[in-house]
Structures are given as C-alpha cells and as structure tokens.
Amino acid sequence: MLTGFFDLPWWGYCAVVLLLTHLTIISVTVFLHRCQAHRSVSLHPVPAHLMRFWLWLTTGMVTREWVAIHRKHHAHCDVDEDPHSPQMEGISTVLWRGAELYRGALDDPQLLARYGKGTPDDWIERKLYSRFPYLGISLMLVIDLLCFGAIGLTLWAVQMVWIPFWAAGVINGVGHFLGYRNFETGDASRNISPLGLLVGGEELHNNHHAAPSSARLSCRWFEFDIGWCYIRCLSLLGLAKVRTTGLIRQLPLTPDGAMNRLQLLRLYAHQVVLPILKQERQRGSRASRQLLRRSRWLLLREKHRLNAAQRSRVESSLSLSRRLAVVYDYQHRLREIWTLPGRSSDRLGRALHDWCVDAKSSGIAALEEFAERLMNGSLVRRAAIGS
C-alpha cells in the first residue's frame, strides 16, 4: 500500500481531516461571510489572504461569486429569486444538491455586477484564484497524496464534500426549515443549534438574518459562536477590526436598524407576553391550559405568517383572557411602528414614545413596567449587552 510522509493511526487521520475541514469552515464564516459578504469585520491582509488561499485549495470557490450569491439570498430570502431556499426548492433539494443550486445561480448575467461589488480584485485574484479555481483543489489532492499516501485520496474527498454539504446544504437548507427562532424575521430562518461549533457559528442562522451586519452570531447566554471567538482572538492580535455587533445602542431607534426592532420584540415577548401567558395557564381549566400551551409560540409570530388553523387557535386563546388579548394587541402595535410611511429616526422615536404612554395606562403591571423601562432607557441598555 502506498504511504506518504506521515504514517498515522486511524484516529490520527480522523483528527487531521477534522482539523483541515475546520480550517475551511472558519475561512468561510470569517472571511467569506462576515468579512466579505457583510463587511461586519475587516481583516488584516495577512489572515485575509491566508484564508482566501486556503479556500482556493480546499473548495475552489471564487470569492466574488460566493459573496454575490449570498447577498442575493439576503435580498430575496425565501421567495422566488432566492438562489437556495428550501421553502421554494424543497428541503431535500437544498440539503443534497445545494452546490448545484449555487452553480445554477451563476447563470444570472447580472448577478456579479449587482451583488459582487467590493470583493478582492488584485492580480492574484484575476490571474490565479478566479481564473483557475480547479487548480487549487487539484494541488490539494497532490498534497494529501504526498503527505498521507493512498488514504490521502479519502481525506481529500471528505474535504471536497464538507462545504457543499454542511454550508450549502445544511445551513441553507435545515437553517430555513428546522430549529428554534429568537427573532420573528420576515423569512423562515432558524437556529439549528445553540452551539455553533461544527459549522463555525453559522448554526445560529436566525440570529444572523435578524442582524446580517453583526460580526457576532450569538445573542443569548446559552448560545456559543466559535467564529466570534476566532474574530476576537484576531482582534486582540491586531489582525481584525469588528465594525458592528448589531445590538441596540441608544434611542431613538434608527430606521434601518432591523436588529433594534427584532431585539425589542424579543424582549417584549419574554418580559410581557410569556409571563402573562404563564399566569393565565395557572389560573385556567385543564382544557384552557392545554390550548394556551399549544398557542405559546404562535402568539409571538407575525399574523401574516400563520395559516388558518393557527389563526383560529390564537383567536381561541385570546378569547380566554382579556389581559392576554391586550398584550397581544400591543405587540402587534409595536410591530406596526416600523411600517409607518416616511420612517425617520424622529418619527420612530415619537411613535415609540406614544406607544409607551398608552401602555403605561393599560392596567397590566408587566406591560406598564416594560413601557417604563423602555422610556427611561434601561431596557435599551440591557439589550445593548445582549441579555
């Protein structure tokens, strides 16, 4: 059997392939995704080029193409023009054929011009990386064979399918199909797992869609974003600069601050709606407790995202409790503030102030306390530290 420079036990080969694929995942999430696509972090030229070189070796992906497809995904998320939505294409198609959908998206002649701006366009990008994308993965095959012998072919094959499956398939597929949601975004994005380890933090997909410009994808105490850990390490070494973490900072709220709205609605849900719901369940009959339990997360969703059966369940739940109906109505009114025409910071601030004044006269303690904290700014300071 052909052998290479390194003769390892079976677990050694497993460790090598995990290390190599992890380097690829980190290069995708830090360089391609957070640095290039969303500009949430800027990298020193040394780590930026090392990651670009590594991606050329292990994926053959062209930076401009990947960025353009991803930006188009955000611009048309879970609608007809989305390049890879399981809501449109089906979960099986995106999960197992995600790489094909990426290649198909490149058929759009306007894609790169419209969505690919600002990506590297230096000599090595034009003459090597973009011009010969398959040369890199061929060179990686030679390196694997020289280092590990015949088994290097298996290691290389795993490297080649890792990103198409985990990034193009799992994140774009499962991440818009199964999991939990911290924010009621206008798309179907979900957090696959609170522990962002295997795919570099991209598992926190709903958090990302709530604040695409945030360099940090975790927002709750039990969520862990390993990609953010690498960014912080690079930052401490002077090799990266975080531009934004997408959190609420101050009032009045900015008209383009999607995270401001979504973070505020999440706080309202957890500090007002769910506590009232819990109190009503404790007071009700067995049948009403069961209905309210089944309606728990439906009460937090936008009305237009509910089907007929779900809307009927919500209406039945609200008929059981005046207090619950009131806080649900205030939640809807809070959402509507961001749909006002001519949204300026001043107008949003005034509308939010009026909402707080009305809420403080509702006669419901949890709602009144929330409005008071919002008006005096303590709620915003709490949101700013990601609580």
Amino acid letter, residue 333: R
- Packed helices 322-336 and 258-268: angle between N→C axes, nearest 10 degrees: 170
Most confident region among 40-44, 278-282, 338-342 by mean pLDDT: 40-44
d(CA 176, CA 171): 8
Q: So what's the pLDDT on residue 342?
A: 59
Task: Render pLDDT for 110-144 as a digit per residue (tens, 0 to 9).
Answer: 999 999 999 999 999 999 999 999 999 999 999 99
Note if the bond before 252 is cis, omega within 30 degrees: yes
d(CA 304, CA 186): 10
Averaged pLDDT of the chain: 87
Whether the predicted pLDDT of 367 surpasses 80 = yes
- Packed helices 45-58 and 10-26: angle between N→C axes, nearest 10 degrees: 120
Longest dimension (CA), the chain: 81
d(CA 285, CA 41): 53
Which of 67-76, 192-201, 369-378 is the least confident region? 369-378
Average pLDDT for residues 323-328, to the nearest whole number? 93
Residue 29: pLDDT band with limits 50, 70, 90 = very high
d(CA 55, CA 183): 32
Which of helix, strand or coil describes residue 240?
strand
